[in-house]
Amino acid sequence: MSLFPDPTPYPDVNTALRHFSTRVQAVLGEQFLGMYLYGSLALGDFDPQTSDIDFIVATKTEIAEDHFTALQALHEQFDAGGSAWAGRIEAAYIPQA
């Protein structure tokens, strides 16, 4: 059970978002500031058949090379894992300043 409400009305999307949120935080540690939805999910125009999942991760500073490599591997593993959302994740990692 999560302490936070589901961010969307789509259970499989919420599962994918929890997957990334948990693992991105583990990779970035104190560099992680927050994860935010944008695109069709945020604007209310989401279509499960055609839309992708768009999110931005805010970081304290630019991502170090080792963190970048780990995040790239995380995305590749997700895409290879058989999720219906494989290949349909759009993520941006943006430093605070």
Q: What is the CATH number of the domain that holds 17?
A: 3.30.460
Q: In sequence order, what are the residues at sequence separation of 6 or more whose Cβ sits closer than 8 angstroms to the Cβ of residue 89?
A: 16, 20, 52, 53, 55, 75, 78, 79
Is residue 1 in a domain? Answer: no
Q: Would you write out the chain's pLDDT as a tens digit for each of its 97 residues? A: 455 689 999 999 999 999 999 999 999 999 999 999 999 999 999 999 999 999 999 999 999 999 999 999 999 999 999 999 999 999 999 999 7
Is residue 40 in a domain? Answer: yes
State the Cα–Cα distance between residues 72 and 67, nearest whole angstrom. 9
Closest to 58 in 3D by CA, of 30, 16, 86: 30
Is residue 25 in a domain? Answer: yes
The structural domain count of the chain equals 1
Closest to 17 in 3D by CA, of 68, 65, 52, 44: 52
Is residue 22 in a domain? Answer: yes
Is residue 54 in a domain? Answer: yes
Query: What pLDDT sits at residue 46?
Result: 97
Is residue 6 in a domain? Answer: no
Is residue 38 in a domain? Answer: yes
